[in-house]
Structure 1
């Protein structure tokens, strides 16, 4: 029997969008604690809808690991190559800096998820990872395997998944990118996010076709 654990659902319907001439930006999640001693503590998750043929700055702080994940459209991160759905830019920042996200398409918007973590960084670095989203009902590592337990996957309706946490005292941040899931016996739908604590094993089930989910194991 599935045991209920503490959780918080962040509904997309209640999300506030900050509108400008170049983009619409929403806080999916923000860690309001001023400091965290935990390595790879989740700081912030933002969704950027960048209007066609526009660009927008993202401010990074020192000692942050940041993931840029396109949800649709094509974008360029600084002077890196153009990326689209199925590709991820991972940037590690040793000092405060601004990063430019440019929508390279002239006739449609782009949507990018930006995920920030605390991490001790000695020098700036970036890499581009390929995600295999063609294989159904399988979790893909977002970056560096079990050294960084974050996953994304496309699931068919009624397909189930299970994940055993690497660290006993960690929690889970999850987000549905498309469709609907039952996530540890809780319904989360398109663009909803969830935080779950006091959990050793995660169970989820897709409730729609082409359902896309991502989640990270994070320190509490």
Structure 2
């Protein structure tokens, strides 16, 4: 029987550093909730706002898969692998920290704020050679588009884990099923970027999320135009 964990937007941790405002779905930095450590291999899910001209200076990471998804504005990236550039809405970035990476993430604009999702996935292999990937994507209406998956494939980025990232956009009053790629081992985490919908009867509004496992599919009913992110990850880290 399917299991569920519902994360309403207002229950997330919140940090206000002035230039940085961040909502933490899972325990992170100064926010600790023993019931919100992770969802399987999904360890961090931060919904960040960074003021114009500000950002995260150089800092280290290791043995973590870090995904950045801009929602508004532009984010400048620079890391010790030699990768650097700017990502904006309609683009996604993956950094496999592996044996160790030093990087910075700055608002690329001196006048416009940036909003982005920063997501960490625990890898299934430690101490790999660090790597970096970035790509543009476009999601049609009433489409679920795969952006990241475990294997190299045209039009997607690769992650060091048996995990998938998919972005979706649907009109209101649509009903459809979403099937897991690996239902035997994985769970599915849905984060509603905007709109309203129901997942197996559970109602979600903008910035709500739900985790589902012990099932091979979920049923979605949109009640308004909605955009959402689907992250499928292993539930057992042993």
The partner residue of 2:107 within 85, 97, 103 is 103
Matched, 1:144 2:159: no
In structure 2, C-alpha distance between the alignment counterparts of 1:17 and 1:190, rounded to whole Å: 16
Which consecutive residues of structure 2, in runs of 5 or more, have no partner in the other structure? 29-33, 152-161
CA contact (8 A) 2:68 2:94 kept: yes
Matched, 1:127 2:133: yes
Residues 172, 97 of structure 1: CA spacing in aligned structure 2 closer, same or farther, 3 A cutoff?
Answer: same
Residues 8, 60 of structure 1: CA spacing in aligned structure 2 closer, same or farther, 3 A cutoff?
Answer: farther
CA contact (8 A) 1:163 1:203 kept: yes
TM-score (norm 1): 0.85
Aligned residues: 211
In structure 2, C-alpha distance between the alignment counterparts of 1:196 and 1:57, rounded to whole Å: 36
CA contact (8 A) 1:22 1:56 kept: no
- Match for residue 216 of structure 1? 231
- Match for residue 178 of structure 1? 194
In structure 2, C-alpha distance between the alignment counterparts of 1:182 and 1:59, rounded to whole Å: 39
Matched, 1:8 2:9: no
- Match for residue 50 of structure 2? 50
Which consecutive residues of structure 1, in runs of 5 or more, have no partner in the other structure? none
SS at 2:70's partner residue? strand
Report deviation, 1:102: 0.9
Residues 61, 80 of structure 1: CA spacing in aligned structure 2 closer, same or farther, 3 A cutoff?
Answer: closer
- Match for residue 154 of structure 1? 169
The partner residue of 1:86 within 63, 86, 90 is 90
TM-score (norm 2): 0.79
